[in-house]
Amino acid sequence: MTDQTTDPAPDRVSEQAARHLRALLASEQVDARVPSLVAGLVRDGALVWSDAHGRRTGDGPPGVDTQYRIGSITKTMTAVLVLQLRDEGLLDLGDRLDEHLPGVGYGDRTLRHLLSHASGMQSEPAGPWWERSPGGSFEELAAAVDDSAAVFAPGATHHYTNLAYGLLGEVVARLRGGTWWDSVRSRILEPLGMARTSYLPEAPHATGYSVHHFANTLTEEPAHDTGAMAPAGQVWSTVTDLATFACFLLDGHPAVLDVSTLREMATPQSGTLTGGLSGGYGLGLRLLAGGAGTVSGHTGSMPGFLAALFVDPVRRTGAVCLANGTTGLRCEGLPVDLLDTLERQEPTVVPAWVPSDRLPPGVEEVLGVWHWGNTAYGFCWDGTEVTAGALGGTPTLRFRPREDGTFLGTAGYHHGETLRVVRGGDGALTHLFCATFVYTRTPYDPRAPIPGGVPARPE
């Protein structure tokens, strides 16, 4: 008999949940007036629901294996390639762009600026609108990059820029010694088994349409190779393949990126005053308030196509939506609504509480009550980390034990700081110290330095 009972997640949702999800999908397809709409949900590493509404694709009925153009979801793949290079030590996110692309405009911006859309550069490259015109070479793109067109100073605010990702794709190509697409294929698609994701469309694939506002008639949209701007929005994919990619964003993959790097990518880097706390941008990932707190992923838009992919790491769920219309789909709204509907119909079951078999060295002696001034804090072990918070309240601090006997702050005010155990001359633990904060077993213990000990009194 084990300590924890498990209830394996079903490989599909219930009929009742599927009915609610289908109704939501159908209403969206009608309200958005898109010729076809296909969607899927993942949970605990598997595609558990998919459906389609509307049948006008130009290549048979829509389904999980029908390719749609995914637009800027491509940017998440470009960002993954950049983070791979960083993790291998081949670049640093603080590198200036001109360290990798000498002579190209915006050379003083950092790679982090470009990844997070905080570079201040203009949104689109100079020349004909790249989404509806055949793409050119990187040499042509670079020649047209004029940093006098900057709209903001670097780091001033979030300003979405497709141009930044065209430049990032070239950084990848030069460091890897091949094309950007070579790296996407060999370093993302093949390890993850995404065989139906391609640079150009492969049958069966949807045709992209725009819809006449008044007549409801369709106009076929162009599907050009975007050339040097491909890293910003070229790729075609399916619900099945993007479900695989969503599972990767939740769990990582040893041949692609570790989950710790994916969490870093989902850490807010830039935002806008108007957006407030409702959303922001990480390192290649769009962040939205929703789900169990924050969902991350990306939307996509190219002539004739709209797409979205978002994951909720707490609930271990994700949503993919693909449509073949130029406008109409709520690319940020529908995925969140689908995830919320799934949660209402089939709530997430939290893992069972499991007692600790043993504690890592040095953990037991820091547990219990400590005081910051007069305020009592409870330090507890949750099975993986030490948590701390004012007694009677919710823990707000977390610390991970290190082999050297210190603790790394992983959440709360001490995030990133080091908590140290301090001992007296007799070797007994006297206090805990973290970035000038002193925690003592009794309020204002005189054995501890200020601000943990008794404050000096004026004479």
Q: What pLDDT digit, counting tens, does each position of 237-250 carry? A: 999 999 999 999 99
Single pTM value for the model: 0.92
Quick one: DSSP state of residue 344?
H
CA neighbor of 127 nearest in space, from 229, 8, 246: 229
- For residues 51-59, average pLDDT: 94
Please give the helix or strand (H or E) that residue 82 lies within, else none. helix 73-87
* Domain spans in the chain, listed from the N-terminal domain onward: 19-345, 364-440
pLDDT at 147: 84
Residue 283: band (very low, low, confident or very high) from pLDDT cuts 50, 70, 90: very high
Distances (CA, A) of 147 to 127, 143, 150, 164: 14, 11, 5, 12
Superfamily of domain 19-345: DD-peptidase/beta-lactamase superfamily (3.40.710.10)
Burial 234-250 (b: 16+ CB within 10 A, else e): bbbbbbbbbbbbbbbbb
pLDDT in tens, 162-208: 999 999 999 999 999 999 999 999 999 999 999 999 999 999 999 99
Structure tokens at 210: 């725009």
Report the alpha-carbon distance of residue 127 to residue 148 in Å, rounded. 15
pLDDT of residue 103: 94
Beta-strand pair 437-440/429-434? antiparallel
